[in-house]
Amino acid sequence: MMKKRRGLRFYIFGETIYMKLTHLPRLTIVVPCNNEEPVLPTSAPILENILTDLIQKKAVAADSKILFVDDGSKDRTWLIIDQLTQQNPLFTGLKFSRNYGQEAALMGGMQTAGAHSDFVITIDADLQDDPTLIPGMVEQANAGYDVVYGVRNDRSTDSWFKRTTAEGFYWFMGKLGVDLVPNHSDFRLLTKPVVDALMTCKESNPFIRGIIPQLGFPSTKLYYKRQPRQAGVSKYPLRKMLRFALNGVLSFSVAPIRAVLYAGLVICTGAFAMLLWILVQHLRGTVVTGWSSIMASLWFLGGFQLVAISIIGEYVGRTFTEVKHRPRFIIQTDTYSPSFAIGKTVNRQPVSVTLHLNHQSVHSGGRS
């Protein structure tokens, strides 16, 4: 049975260029790493076997790669990555100058891989996300989907607290109008047009899980059961989870500021009603002097004002961070890009190009 081949369409200065891929898609698996010394010796061979099998079955190009992104690890993570790259050309590495965070590691890996790849898959190094879904993701991408989400259908390995807070987070984000994929982490496949569109988002601290659904490309979901971590420790303790949730809320909504406004109006209305009540009681001569109610009111209003100023300060602080335009990450070592230098890549079949004039001037990616 003949597989359906993908096509790419670009609009350039009024000319529609249809590029039909006549070669096998090049796949890069991006794996962000932070102090993953205990898990890499186990996870690297698993990913190697999966990618090798895809290459042998001619589902992806022979020069497809696995890209480990070392996000400022303090252990022997980079040493292990360097050894892997010397043992097998499938393995490549990207080393940051310091720790920039999970989102930066993902963006750095996708930005580097997107320059040379047709498909990019991101997956955590601990492989709690099921890597056996990768062939299915490639199949769905070849069928025409630009985004393939890996979605958990079982959270039994999570604690009650984590399950409850996760469900509450997705519910709250939905109420704010943010389009998220529930129970989806960072395990996904993106085609090159999606990666290119994602790279146009220049936030210093992007909320990737919220940005990708907003890009609007055709998507589908594959479900799996998340496995317990085999080694090492979780890189998302409660503190980081709270920071991640706060980043999601503040990146996509001004609802917290509006909530402060509404709360302020309610308090002012209540204060006005209390003033009228006190005036009536004064006219009736039944006023009881005391400081308890006054102090309670002062503490309440003072606390509310501090919370309101803090929320507004978060938005101001984010604006301050964005206007500085500092790099999201700095790459110290890159063994991925040189592997695609002239003369080092496997020969690929040529691309057929057909031009159609349609007098449009939109820059985008799609399928023919």
Distance from C-alpha of 297 to C-alpha of 56, rounded to nearest angstrom: 72
Q: Which residues of the chain are modeled with pLDDT < 70?
A: 1-22, 155-159, 176-177, 229-255, 258, 261, 271-272, 275, 278, 281-282, 285-293, 295-296, 299, 303, 342-368
Residue 297: what pLDDT? Answer: 72
Same structural domain for residues 64 and 206? yes
Give domain status of residue 196, yes or no: yes
Same structural domain for residues 156 and 305? no
**Which two tokens mark 317?**
């602080």
Question: For the chain, what's the residue count?
Answer: 368
Give domain status of residue 41, yes or no: yes
Give domain status of residue 3, yes or no: no
Same structural domain for residues 201 and 289? no
DSSP 317-343: HHHHHHHTT--S--EEEESSGGGGSTT
Same structural domain for residues 215 and 288? no
3 state SS of 202: coil
Q: What DSSP character marks residue 131?
A: G
Left (φ > 0), alpha (ψ -120 to 50) or beta: where does 232 sit?
left
Phi, psi of 171 (to 5 degrees): -65, -45
CA distances from 329 to 109, 207, 208 (A): 11, 15, 15
Distance from C-alpha of 210 to C-alpha of 94, rounded to nearest angstrom: 25
What CATH number should be reported for the domain holding residue 145?
A: 3.90.550.10
Give domain status of residue 334, yes or no: yes
Same structural domain for residues 204 and 287? no
Residue 110: what pLDDT? Answer: 95
Residue 155 CA from chain centroid, whole number: 20
DSSP 271-330: HHHHHHHHHHHHHHT-PPP-SHHHHHHHHHHHHHHHHHHHHHHHHHHHHHHHHTT--S--
pLDDT tens for each residue of 322-362:
777 778 889 999 999 998 875 455 555 443 333 333 333 33
Closest CA to 313 of 268, 257, 244: 257
- Bridge partners (DSSP) of residue 188 are 122, 149
Give domain status of residue 367, yes or no: no
Same structural domain for residues 39 and 174? yes
Residue 201: what pLDDT? Answer: 87
Same structural domain for residues 56 and 138? yes
Contact 356, 16 (CB under 8 A): yes
Same structural domain for residues 203 and 76? yes
Contact 263, 271 (CB under 8 A): no
Kindly tell me the sign of the dihedral angle through the C-alpha atoms of 195, 198, 202, 207.
Answer: negative
Same structural domain for residues 197 and 340? yes
Query: In the chain, how many domains are there?
Result: 2
Same structural domain for residues 273 and 140? no
Same structural domain for residues 223 and 266? no
Give domain status of residue 301, yes or no: yes
Question: Domain of 69?
Answer: 23-237+328-348
Same structural domain for residues 310 and 338? no
pTM: 0.70
